[in-house]
Chains A and B, each alone.
Chain A
Amino acid sequence: MRTETMGLKNTLSRTPYYVLAGGLAVIFLFPLVWNAWASVSGQPGTAQESGYGFGNYRTLLDYDAGLWRYLLNSTIVSALTVALTLGVSLLGGYAFARFDFPGKNLLFLLTLAILMVPYATLLIPLYVLLGRLHLQNSLIGLSLVLAMFQLPFATFMMRISFEAVPRELEESALVDGCGTSGALRRILLPAVRPGLITVGLFAFLAAWNDFIAPLILISDSEKAPLPLAIANLRQQSMGAVDYGATEAGVVVLAVPCLLLFLLLQRHYMRGFMSGALKG
């Protein structure tokens, strides 16, 4: 009897909490759900005039260079950025965590200093510089720039990952006759894998979603990554705005990000936590 009234009291005192938290959850979910629904539902002035179907997605397939082309561009840029970021920060993190060399602290500070310089400040000279390197309007040039912007987080993350590995592990490998590169490949690489996943995840999301860097560095619409292509799509249908195709584009852009987030939530949080803690 007593526990029953307690239970009722608890439920009552919890109700305002769930009303507030649930109401907020509805507001946070609503735009995502609406967009997904709108992309397949009928609207006048779109390829899907009425009923439900994938007309808007078919518009995307045929738009300008075609959805596959833009997806390919985005995939190339993301893959290159991830590979460059992982490669450079793996070696750099190893160097900063395990070696003493002249200029070590200066180089580490300079790498972190990239965070302090606004994106736009660097993109204007990078536009000129990539021109001189014959990398203007090139997906490779874009990937190099995006990887550079990832380096502060990636290097920091890989350095603390290497520092967390006990030295004894590496030294026993060295005693067994592995060189430092052998120790890195065989012993350390598995040990820093969680750090690599976090770094790779963040590099992918940054490259997949970036807008201002391709806007400035890519001038050829054939080479546009997906976000830029979808933004351009809005302006090009003869004055009339195709909301349906844009909504379909947002779905294509968002689905990989949402899936990665839900699948790799732990690695995601780790990245944010270290971001929060280091600050």
Chain B
Amino acid sequence: MQPQVADEAAAGRHAASTSRTRRAARPHPPHQAGGPWWRSRKVKGLGYAAPTAAFVTVFFLLPLLLVGQMSLSDWPLLAGNRGGNAPENYTDITDGTLFWPAVRFTLLYTVIVTVILLGLALLLALLVQEHRPGVGFFRTVYFLPGALGLASASLLFWGLYSPTTGPLSPLLEGLGLVDEPVSFLGAPTSALLSTVFLVVWKFAGFYMLILLVGLQRIPHEVYEAARMDGADRWQIFRRITLPLLRPSLALTLLLCATGSLLAFDQFFILTKGGPDNSTVTIVQLIYREAFQRLDLGTAAALSIIVLAVLLLLNVLQFRGLRRADEP
């Protein structure tokens, strides 16, 4: 999201300068009560922006400062602030037995989800790219799960995976693939893969849309020229579609990686971190520190670490995107 911030800053500057030159060239709007019109306009602008400023200050900047302070303090949930203890909260994190397994698991989950999700999303985007009968229907159907909330989708799959009433176990038995009811969420690997399947189902259509926008921005002439030169489908895909799609792919990669690193709802609802704490993600760890171990200080320190990692990821991605934009 870094790039868009920078783009916007540039756009803002641009808009500001053009509006200044434009306004100088035309007669001034009539004076508002008191003072030169530009001053009252400045004050009015501030007035209109005031609610935004209040929201950003109270619910964003203040909590950001507070989480920093909390991460450096002994701060039990019930007793409140008991004074600074830096850097104890940070050293406590790595002492916790769940920390490294959670880091490993979150990274593993992120890699698996990102690879499968982007691969499938690209396939879907290619399938619905061209106009042909029924393509609108397919677009809508692929996107439909994206309209649900993640918590609703997780609750849905929790029933779907049920060994007693879910339809999947009988289906697999009927196909002769297994001989006894499958406990999808009962073993670490299958719990992970079952959650991955849910997330892919829920988000594939969303990433398909982003890639579809990218695909449709590739000019037709480029394809025609390649076909004239005798390139086959695979060559066109490798040499033209993929390179020109790189900015969209980079965006989906960033969104998908960020979302997966912060995974919470799906594991909280489907696996509750189990079996045997094998599917505890970092954000679940923050939740556990805060509301089960009642230690807000350590939870805040973990939050700060997650924030730092994400900012780093955004910076790296920004560099990658900038390179992708260069011809």
Residues of A within 8 A of B (CB): 14, 17-18, 20-21, 24-25, 27-29, 31-32, 34-35, 38, 43, 45, 87-89, 91-92, 94-102, 104-105, 107-122, 124-129, 144-145, 147-148, 151, 155-156, 163, 167, 171, 174-175, 177, 179-180, 205, 208-212, 215-216, 227, 230-231, 234, 241, 243-244, 246-247, 249-250, 253-254, 257-258, 260-262, 265, 268-269, 272-273, 275-279
Q: Given A31-B201, A101-B45, do A231 and B155 touch, yes or no (CB 8 Å)?
A: yes
Is B88 in contact with chain A by the CB < 8 A criterion? no
Q: Given A121-B303, A212-B265, do A147 and B150 touch, yes or no (CB 8 Å)?
A: no
Tell me, in angstroms, the Cα distance from A117 to B314 when the chains sit together: 11
Q: Is the CB of A261 within 8 A of B286?
A: no
How many residues does chain B have at the interface if contact means C-beta atoms less than 8 Å apart? Answer: 106
Which residue on B lies nearest to A253, using beta carbons?
B152
**Contact pick for B29, options A21, A113, A171, A275, CB 8 Å:** A171
Which residue on B lies nearest to A176, using beta carbons?
B30
Q: Is the CB of A17 within 8 A of B165?
A: no
**Residue numbers in A under 8 Å from B26 (CB-CB):** 171
Q: Is the CB of A118 within 8 A of B262?
A: yes
Tell me, in angstroms, the Cα distance from A171 to B51 when the chains sit together: 24
Which residues of chain B from 131 to 170 have a CB within 8 Å of any chain A CB?
132, 134, 137-138, 140-145, 147-152, 155-160, 162, 164-165, 167
Q: Is the CB of B156 within 8 A of A258?
A: no
Which residue on A lies nearest to B128, using beta carbons?
A21
Given A28-B201, A29-B144, 16 more A-B residue pairs with CB atoms under 8 Å apart are A92-B52, A95-B46, A105-B13, A120-B306, A121-B307, A124-B303, A125-B63, A126-B63, A129-B62, A177-B30, A179-B32, A210-B151, A211-B265, A243-B165, A246-B158, A278-B7
Which residue, of A45, A125, A129, has the highest number of chain B Cβ atoms within 10 A?
Answer: A125
Residues of B within 8 A of A (CB): 1-5, 7-9, 12-13, 15-16, 19-20, 22, 26, 29-30, 32, 41-53, 55-56, 58-64, 66-67, 70, 80, 124, 127-128, 132, 134, 137-138, 140-145, 147-152, 155-160, 162, 164-165, 167, 201, 204-206, 209-210, 213-214, 248, 251, 254-255, 262, 264-265, 268-269, 283, 286-287, 290-291, 296, 299-300, 303-304, 306-307, 310-311, 314
**Residue numbers in A under 8 Å from B127 (CB-CB):** 17, 20-21, 24
**Residue numbers in B under 8 Å from A92 (CB-CB):** 48-49, 51-52
Q: Is the CB of B66 within 8 A of A28?
A: no
**Residue numbers in B under 8 Å from A177 (CB-CB):** 30
**Residue numbers in B under 8 Å from A18 (CB-CB):** 134
**Residue numbers in A under 8 Å from B213 (CB-CB):** 273, 276-277
**Residue numbers in A under 8 Å from B44 (CB-CB):** 99, 180
**Residue numbers in A under 8 Å from B248 (CB-CB):** 276
30 pairs across A/B with beta carbons < 8 Å?
A18-B134, A21-B128, A25-B141, A31-B156, A31-B157, A31-B160, A34-B160, A104-B16, A110-B56, A114-B56, A115-B1, A116-B5, A116-B311, A120-B283, A125-B67, A156-B8, A174-B30, A179-B32, A180-B32, A211-B268, A211-B269, A243-B165, A244-B165, A250-B152, A254-B152, A260-B147, A262-B140, A268-B147, A276-B214, A279-B255
Tell me, in angstroms, the Cα distance from A17 to B126 when the chains sit together: 11
Q: Is the CB of A111 within 8 A of B147?
A: no
Q: Is the CB of B49 within 8 A of A95?
A: yes
Instruction: Determine the main DSSP class of A at the interface with B.
Output: helix
Closest 3 pairs (CB-CB, A-B):
A209-B149, A99-B45, A92-B52
Q: Is the CB of A112 within 8 A of B141?
A: no
**Contact pick for A117, options B19, B147, B307, CB 8 Å:** B307
Q: Is the CB of B67 within 8 A of A101?
A: no
Which residue on A lies nearest to B313, using beta carbons?
A116
Q: Is the CB of B49 within 8 A of A96?
A: yes
Q: Given A109-B8, A125-B67, A243-B159, do A116 and B2 touch, yes or no (CB 8 Å)?
A: yes
Q: Name the distance in Å between B211's Cβ and chain A's nearest Cβ.
A: 9
Q: Is the CB of B55 within 8 A of A147?
A: yes
Q: Name the distance in Å between A96's Cβ and chain B's nearest Cβ.
A: 7
Q: Is the CB of B124 within 8 A of A24?
A: yes
**Residue numbers in B under 8 Å from A227 (CB-CB):** 149, 151-152, 155
**Residue numbers in B under 8 Å from A45 (CB-CB):** 164-165
Tell me, in angstroms, the Cα distance from A254 to B146 when the chains sit together: 11
**Residue numbers in A under 8 Å from B158 (CB-CB):** 234, 246
**Residue numbers in B under 8 Å from A144 (CB-CB):** 55, 59
Which residue on A lies nearest to B205, using beta carbons?
A28
Tell me, in angstroms, the Cα distance from A104 to B17 when the chains sit together: 13
Q: Is the CB of B144 within 8 A of A28?
A: yes
Q: Is the CB of B148 within 8 A of A257?
A: yes
**Residue numbers in A under 8 Å from B296 (CB-CB):** 124, 127-128
**Residue numbers in B under 8 Å from A96 (CB-CB):** 12, 49
Which residue on B lies nearest to A219, using beta carbons?
B291
Which residue on A lies nearest to B210, using beta carbons?
A276
Tell me, in angstroms, the Cα distance from A265 to B245 when the chains sit together: 25
**Contact pick for A100, options B42, B51, B60, B204, CB 8 Å:** B42
**Contact pick for A129, options B22, B66, B140, B145, CB 8 Å:** B66
Tell me, in angstroms, the Cα distance from A145 to B2 when the chains sit together: 23
**Residue numbers in A under 8 Å from B62 (CB-CB):** 125, 129
Which residue on B lies nearest to A147, using beta carbons?
B55
Which residue on B lies nearest to A133, using beta carbons?
B58
Q: Is the CB of A279 within 8 A of B56?
A: no
**Contact pick for B12, options A104, A210, A243, CB 8 Å:** A104
Which residue on B lies nearest to A145, using beta carbons?
B59
